[in-house]
Amino acid sequence: MNRVIIGLAEQTECFYLYDAGKIKDQIRKLRTAFPQIDFLYSIKSNSNKGVMKTVFSCGLGADAASLGEVMLAQQSGLNKENIYFSAPGKTSQEIEQAINRAEIIADSLTEISRISAIAGKTQRSIGIRINPDFSFDSTAGTASKFGIDEKEALRYLQSEVPDNVRINGIHVHVKSQELNSEKLKSYYRNMLMLAENVEAVLGYQLNYINMGSGIGIAYSETDTEIDIDSLGKETENLFSEFRKTHPNTRLMIETGRYVVCQSGVYVTHVVDRKESHGKTYIILKNTLNGYVRPSLARMVDKYDKESSIPCEPLYSGADSFSFYAPYQDREKEIVSLVGNLCTAADVIAEDITMPYLQTGDILVINNAGAYAAVISPIQFSSQTAPTEYLLHEDGSIETYFL
Ligand SMILES: Cc1ncc(COP(=O)(O)O)c(C=O)c1O
């Protein structure tokens, strides 16, 4: 990988490099651990065409959060049965365009009414997103802009579903980036119980139960990587027992970052260095605007000590990134790594030890495969956008322009 990075850095100022082999390894791990589960790829985490092609070539379906993502999934060759469109606030036009392309997951009761109106004389099958009366940490529900409150959903399903609509499945997602297996296990148990409660009200079995995401990754050295094999073994019984009574119900988990985050690095160059009031600044090309996460995380950690910050999907702690410069034989110094934008917020690390860096040197930042290029303000300051590269297992490299 190092050799590939150095080669690409000779031609490109700043770029993302995704490793298709690593993406496939992650998918293999999930599949081996959870043979009873179908996985959906959360396109929002990384919609690079080559990344999507790699993921979908492994047989994953799509978790689409917009009409645009429905289209991307369709263009990637997925059929309606494997595209799940779940998002709050879909417009009627978006529903009309998506209805023959994706399984629509209604996010509110008014959305179900609109789907019914659009369906007219045609019978439509949809899913509903439920805001459950449990979370990863508690057995109580909380207010949310996502989904229909569990009690309200159960009441509605009893007698109010329009005649031209059939509820095919349910979707719940309450948390991302969970590293505690016990919490994930209890969440899955709660999900299956919720599904049975929904079925009891509907009077028939669901076609699918989409349990959302949850499985996290070790961003920092202090995070403990989830033991996916053990989690798989410990939930095997739960899912197998459910399967016995539900042979035709698809059990699904959505995942973005587990599959792609660690497959990506962001590479940029040093454009200048300077001393100011005893501090050394290394000025880099396109940091906040090229890969926003490190500066965003640093800003949040530095200034927001009070509130607890939701992780998804913009933020992970400032210790979530390593900054690597391939010059280990040089003398070390303490520096701050900053970007070339005209904002003081463009700081990715303060007072860290790095090898002596000068103009033209390379800096590599990890964990850049998920919620990275897709959330970065690339237009900010009209800098040249980073390029995206996908490294295939045979060593070939595809180029994509943002
Ligand atoms: C509804 C839903 N599903 C799946 C995901 C993907 O989460 P992750 O990338 O952590 O797997 C998200 C993330 O925001 C989400 O909101």
Given the DSSP bridges, would you call strands 103-106 and 250-255 parallel, antiparallel or unpaired? unpaired
Boundary residue ending a domain (255, 275, 307): 255
CA of 256 relative to ligand 1 center, distance in Å = 6
Task: Name the closest-CA residue to atom 16, ligand 1.
Answer: 173
**236-251: average pLDDT:** 97
Q: Give the other-Cβ count within 10 Å of 158's Cβ.
A: 12
Q: Tokens at residue 171, please?
A: 């979707």
Residue at 67 is within a domain: yes
Q: Into how many domains does the chain fold? A: 2
- Does 123 score more than 90 pLDDT? yes
Find the CATH number of the domain harbouring 362: 2.40.37.10
Query: Which of 39, 41, 42, when mutated, tests ligand 1's pocket best, judged by the most ligand atoms within 8 Å of its CB?
Result: 42
The chain-wide mean pLDDT, for the chain, equals 96
Task: Name the closest-CA residue to atom 5, ligand 1.
Answer: 213
Find the CATH number of the domain harbouring 213: 3.20.20.10
Boundary residue ending a domain (255, 274, 305): 255
Together in a domain, 119 and 158: yes
DSSP secondary structure letters along 273-325 = EEEETTEEEEEESSSTTTS-HHHHHHHHHHH--SSPPP-TTT---GGG--EE-
Can you give the pLDDT at residue 304? Answer: 67
Can you give the pLDDT at residue 307? Answer: 66
**Integer angstrom CA distances of residue 322 from 92, 259, 349:** 44, 19, 10
pLDDT digits (tens, 9 = 90+) for 133-159: 999 988 889 999 999 999 999 999 999
Residue 356 to residue 334: CA distance in whole angstroms: 9
Domain span at residue 366 reads 3-12+264-401
Whether the CB-CB separation of 202 and 156 falls below 8 Å is answered with no
Residue 208 to residue 303: CA distance in whole angstroms: 43
| pLDDT-based confidence at residue 392 (cuts at 50, 70, 90) | very high
Per the DSSP assignment, residues forming a β-bridge with 334 are 353
Q: Which atom of ligand 1 is nearest to the CA of 313?
A: 14
Can you give the pLDDT at residue 250? Answer: 98
**Phi and psi angles of residue 107, each rounded to the nearest 5 degrees, phi first:** -105, -5
Together in a domain, 342 and 198: no
| pLDDT-based confidence at residue 356 (cuts at 50, 70, 90) | very high
The more confident residue out of 84 and 302 is 84
Q: Which atom of ligand 1 is nearest to the CA of 146?
A: 1
pTM of model > 0.95: yes
CA of 213 relative to ligand 1 center, distance in Å = 5
- Does 300 score more than 90 pLDDT? no
Query: Which of 213, 309, 316, when mutated, tests ligand 1's pocket best, judged by the most ligand atoms within 8 Å of its CB?
Result: 213
Percent of the chain whose predicted confidence (pLDDT) is above 70: 98
